[in-house]
Structure 1
Amino acid sequence: MTDFRLTTQHTEDDLALAHVTGELDIATAPHLRTQALALIEQGHRHLILDLQAVTFCDSSGFNALVGIFRCAKAADGTLVLAAVPDRLQRLLHLTGLDTLMPAHSTAAHALTAHTRSQDTAPA
């Protein structure tokens, strides 16, 4: 397996911030999906994936992101991306998925946006 790591920082009860490192390919995409879905099952239905340290993403990695999005949505949650590499950002835009999985320039910006959306959500 190529160098891949997912480290998680829980920031709120239903929110998890996960930092993804390495390549997202046919060998690593299942690990990303499994670990992210485990976070959702643990009650962290809102996920922020920081992709700053992702060095490569093929169609398997892209499909893993789509699967994670679907599972988060099924749990009444969200998937937000941060620091998306240019090639992946273009692919998200071309497929229209950038409207479903919003991207922020940094994980800090994504956290701030999540906090603001929670503060303005109806009770």
Structure 2
Amino acid sequence: MLTVRMRQGNTTVARLPEAVDYDTASHVGDECKSLIKQGCRTLVLDASQVQYLDSSGISMLIMVTRALEERDGNLRIADLSDHYQQVWHVLGLDTMFPIAPTVNAALESPATEPSLDERLDTSSM
């Protein structure tokens, strides 16, 4: 499901599967939680292969974000298709889950980011 591409220190880059939906989201979430338990604090999810993403996938991303934040970590999403970036924007998810254009850009983003709760509070104003 989740393909780990790089592990360095407490940073992991993993590629999401083509479909992140009802059938796969819980497995992907479990794999992300396993990485977090192994010490991952910065998780970059490479979305370059994602062809389908539904509400189950978004719920999983929220769960992973919260699990990382409990350990002072953060989730970064990279290389999401133009279509899903539009969906992200329309749904207001771009304030919750900023998208980096590439994995390298996600790796270079600032180490400290507002928590999901802080981003939610700001976006509701």
| TM-based fold match above 0.5 | yes
Structure 1 residue 12 corresponds to structure 2 residue 8: yes
Query: For residue 107 of structure 2, what is the aligned residue in structure 1?
Result: 111
Aligned-residue offset at 1:95: 4.3
Per-residue deviation, residues 27-68 of structure 1 (Å, max 9, x unmatched)? 000011000111111100110000000110011111111111
- Mapped to 2, the partners of 1:69 and 1:97 lie a distance apart of 13
Greater per-residue strand proportion: 1
Query: For residue 23 of structure 1, what is the aligned residue in structure 2?
Result: 19
- Mapped to 2, the partners of 1:91 and 1:42 lie a distance apart of 32
SS at the partner of 1:53? coil
Query: For residue 50 of structure 1, what is the aligned residue in structure 2?
Result: 46
TM-score, reference length from structure 2: 0.79
Query: For residue 71 of structure 2, what is the aligned residue in structure 1?
Result: 75
**Structure 2: tracts of 5 or more residues without a match:** 113-125
CA RMSD, aligned part only? 1.9
Aligned AA for 1:112? E
Q: Given the alignment, which residue of 5, 18, 28 partners 1:32?
A: 28
- Mapped to 2, the partners of 1:86 and 1:42 lie a distance apart of 32
- Mapped to 1, the partners of 2:81 and 2:23 lie a distance apart of 19
- Mapped to 1, the partners of 2:93 and 2:69 lie a distance apart of 13
- Mapped to 2, the partners of 1:88 and 1:71 lie a distance apart of 24
- Mapped to 2, the partners of 1:110 and 1:17 lie a distance apart of 10
**Structure 1: tracts of 5 or more residues without a match:** none
